[in-house]
Amino acid sequence: MYQDYIITALSLLVIALIIAGITVRRYNIPYLYFLACTVLNATFLTNIAGNSIVKVMYPWFIPLFFLIGPGLYGSYSSVEERKGRWHLIHYIPAFIGYVTLIIELGFFNDYFYNTVQLARDLKWESTSIFWPFSDQWIILAQPFHVLLYVIWSVSKLTKSKARLPLFVLPIAQGVFLIPLLDINYHFLTGEFLIFANNQVLRYIMFGLVFLIFWDVVNIRPRMQKEEEAEIKAYEAKKEAERQAALIQEAPKEIYPNAEKVTTTEIVLYIERLIQGDEEFPFNEYSKKADFIKHSPFKNPDWESFFSATSTNFGFFKKYARIHRALRLIEEGYLDNQSVETLAKTVGYSSRAPLYLAFEQIMGESLTDFKESKNGL
């Protein structure tokens, strides 16, 4: 009877985790590890298969129990809060737990395996693998760690004036912490600290499992649309910040009125064309339609660019060709090559249109430019 009850409760938790994994996905990752770690914690404490579960889970799963609280709290946090570096502080206890285990395994090998064996024999009074704390202290402290996050979760929901149904899970989690402490104590000592009748504990535990399941199938789907909108708003904000950074990065002098362009990737693309970091397209694609078709941007992007800069494709093509020619001249191209070859390299059929375009764009003739350059 007891085993059937435990199996039913654990099955409901697993089903809840699967449903949440399907419905919540990336919209609320902390909620997923709250559920996953709750399943692991319940499986460990029920000890339904004697010490077989302990043999599998101890000690490497123990730090994960300290993700239940952060997972609960994180599930009510905004996307921006979850992405912030300060959110990582909530995972320090679990991180320290794994660091301790790795150090003990690497440098105190005998002590590590002796402690593991004692735990597998359920001799908790003698185990202390998470030095300097005993394992009994760690397991009994875990409900209080969850309590801290229950308080923070309720406080966050209160400040945000959340709907009443959202309070059900953290409040139920808080109420359950008293019997959870008793379950932990019974797991360690075989005795009950508060409840003399373990039937009461079973009903309370099943009540919490039911509320978690209800939260997954009823409350979280309602939150999903809000979180989808929040994620889209967050991503839009980050994209705006990225665009602002690109605007700062983009060399405004590379093209007239470049500071007015919103799609700053185009300005950077033009710079790469001129610098020679992109294949120069105007030898093969001198017509506007052909150029746009083979460029990384679509026609509306280019039309927006030309409108913002008060230019057109003809000016852009001429401007890019001349500035590419300037770049090649600065690199010493004319030391070994003729102006005729330079003209064909940047997409002109001969040197005559290069001379004309150079004077139009630069305000001086190519001959005068070369002479002034040679005079330096």
Task: Give pLDDT tens digits for 17-52.
Answer: 666 655 665 567 888 888 888 888 877 877 655 567
The DSSP secondary-structure symbol of 376 reads -
Q: What is the CATH number of the domain that holds 300?
A: 1.10.10
Q: Are 100 and 131 in contact (CB under 8 A)?
A: yes
**228 and 263, same structural domain?**
no
**DSSP of 187-216, one letter per residue?**
HHHSS-SS-S-HHHHHHHHHHHHHHHHHII
Quick one: pLDDT at residue 206?
66
Looking at 184, 212, 238, which one is the last position of a domain? Answer: 238
- Domain-embedded: residue 316: yes
How confident is residue 329, by pLDDT bands cut at 50, 70 and 90?
confident
Q: Which residue has the tokens 């970091």?
A: 277
Q: Which residue has the tokens 């280019």?
A: 302
- Domain-embedded: residue 6: yes
Structural domain for 205, as ranges: 2-238
**Number of domain units in the chain:** 2
Q: Which residue has the tokens 């405004």?
A: 252
How confident is residue 152, by pLDDT bands cut at 50, 70 and 90?
very high
| pLDDT tens digits along 189-241 | 878 777 766 666 666 666 677 777 767 766 665 555 555 666 566 666 666 66
**261 and 231, same structural domain?**
no
**327 and 226, same structural domain?**
no
143: exposed, middle or buried (C-beta count within 10 Å: 0-12, 13-18, 19+)?
A: buried
Tokens of 226: 């809000």
**184 and 286, same structural domain?**
no
| CA atoms of 82 and 86, how far apart (whole Å) | 8
The DSSP secondary-structure symbol of 84 reads S
- Domain-embedded: residue 302: yes
Question: Taking residues 246-261, what's their average pLDDT?
Answer: 65
- Domain-embedded: residue 206: yes
**257 and 137, same structural domain?**
no
| CA atoms of 94 and 87, how far apart (whole Å) | 14
Q: Are 73 and 152 in contact (CB under 8 A)?
A: yes
**151 and 90, same structural domain?**
yes
**230 and 137, same structural domain?**
yes
Quick one: pLDDT at residue 247?
53
Torsion 144-150-156-161 (CA) sign: negative
CB burial string 67-84: b at 16+ within 10 A, e below: bbbbbbbbbbbebeeeee
Q: Are 210 and 12 in contact (CB under 8 A)?
A: yes
**318 and 292, same structural domain?**
yes
- Domain-embedded: residue 281: yes
- Domain-embedded: residue 294: yes
**DSSP of 271-298, one letter per residue?**
HHHHHTSS---TTT--SHHHHHHHSSS-
- Domain-embedded: residue 208: yes
Mean pLDDT of the chain: 78
**114 and 24, same structural domain?**
yes
| CA atoms of 65 and 12, how far apart (whole Å) | 19
Angle between the 313-330 and 366-375 helix axes, to the nearest 10 degrees? 30
* Nearest CA-CA partner of 78 in 236, 241, 242, 223: 223
**262 and 227, same structural domain?**
no
Looking at 188, 208, 238, which one is the last position of a domain? Answer: 238
* Nearest CA-CA partner of 155 in 35, 69, 73: 73
**89 and 134, same structural domain?**
yes
Q: What is the percent of the chain with per-residue pLDDT over 70, rounded to a whole number?
A: 74
**311 and 203, same structural domain?**
no
- Domain-embedded: residue 341: yes
Looking at 203, 238, 273, which one is the last position of a domain? Answer: 238
Q: Is the pLDDT of residue 280 over 60?
A: yes
pTM higher than the cut 0.75: no
Q: Are 261 and 305 in contact (CB under 8 A)?
A: yes
Tokens of 376: 């330096």
Radius of gyration of the chain (CA): 34
Q: Is the pLDDT of residue 177 over 70?
A: yes
